[in-house]
Amino acid sequence: MAMANESKQVWRRLGRVIEPRSGSGWWVSHASYPTVLVGADESVSIFYSVRDADNKSSLARVDIFIDGDRFETGEIRGPLFRPGPRGAFDADGVTVTSLIRRGERLFAYYLGWTIGAHVPFTNFIGLAEVLEDGTLERLSPAPVVGRSRENPFTLGYPWVMELAGEYRMWFGSHLFWGSSGLEMNHVIKQARSLDGIEWEQMPGVVVPLAGQLDPSEFAVSRPSVLQEANGALSMWYARRNPNYRLGHAVSVNGGKSWQRMDDRVTMEGQPDPWERTEITYPCVFDLKGNRYMLYNGDGYGRTGFGLARL
């Protein structure tokens, strides 16, 4: 398997996995934030977010068989998880971005959406359990990671993993909102937990904006983290300036600090029309000795998501 922290990552496009429907009911548009679940038997399922006619997001799932550069999808199931009740932190949508097993139980961390009057949206992080029938059940109607002194505006896109005897979460957080939807600074922060339910939000920013290296960049979000054989942590994320591109960072001290290495990540070949201007929201996973990436193309998932191989 190619190591992510080698000098260059050249990802090979394998094709679009899901093209959004154009219909009615719970799925009218989009297939966003693909999030993978790899079983002990190397089965693969993808959870992703879809939108209805009111632009509210729900959860769909598709099983996929991957063999080298070939893949084949199964039946699409949904909606498996719907927005919460009026007034809840997730009343305008739910987006799963991380799945983790604890014993025989499977848990999903998600961001809940609330459309704002003074700002475009507000996100906080919720926790749900995946039941035997595939649907999700909230563990609490309240967020498990919400507004705090460290994160006073909006936070989401959680990625959770077990590390050094505890649970670690990396998530996106706004440093401020400007007068328009694209006026923001959005960075990646972290939290820790002993049980995966009660979280301590840690101070500081772990993946900041590029600053002088890219003055137009205003957001890094949707972290996806793997631990390498040598103990280092590799993170992939979306970066925006204003179009989305892929970013990459490495930590050699257990996630306490990260070195950005965005220029090491590239896609091989010419993009297809659905991914012509943007590649974003990566989810990276290992399978059968290979490393793969799920990713969205143009328009926040409006054109669906694809698969690439390192």
Residues 43-62 pLDDT 10s: 999 999 999 999 999 999 99
pLDDT at 159: 98
> Is residue 125 within 8 Å of residue 143, measured between CB atoms?
yes
Residue 151 burial (10 A CB sphere; 0-12, 13-18, 19+): buried
> Is residue 113 within 8 Å of residue 125, measured between CB atoms?
no
- The topology (CATH level 3) of 9-309 is Tachylectin-2; Chain A (2.115.10)
Task: Give the C-alpha distances (Å, rounded to integers) separating 223 from 156, 219, 297.
Answer: 10, 12, 16
Q: Average model confidence (pLDDT) for the chain? A: 93
Give the pLDDT band (50/70/90) at residue 1. very low
pLDDT at 8: 87
**DSSP-derived 3-state class of residue 213:** helix
d(Cα 41, Cα 53) in Å, to the nearest integer? 37
Work out the average pLDDT over 64-78: 95
pLDDT tens-digit readout, 165-180:
999 999 999 998 887 7
pLDDT at 258: 95
Identity of the amino acid at 64: I
pLDDT at 179: 77
pLDDT at 6: 56
pLDDT tens-digit readout, 98-142:
999 998 999 999 999 999 888 889 999 999 999 999 999 999 999
> What is the CB neighbour count within 10 angstroms for residue 45?
18
Work out the average pLDDT over 269-285: 94
Bridge-based pairing state of the strands 70-81 and 94-102: unpaired
Among all chains, which residue has been given the structure tokens 């987006």?
95
pLDDT at 181: 65
pTM: predicted TM-score of the whole model, two decimal places: 0.94
Domain range summary for the chain, segments of one domain joined by +? 9-309
Alpha-carbon dihedral 203, 146, 185, 180, rounded to 10 degrees: -160
Radius of gyration (Cα) for the chain, nearest Å? Answer: 18
pLDDT at 3 exceeding the cut of 70: no
Backbone angles phi, psi at 20, to 5 degrees: -60, 150
Among all chains, which residue has been given the structure tokens 């007068």?
179
pLDDT tens-digit readout, 178-226:
877 668 899 999 999 999 999 999 999 999 998 877 888 889 999 999 9
Helical H segments across 143-273, by residue range: none
> Is residue 284 within 8 Å of residue 236, measured between CB atoms?
yes
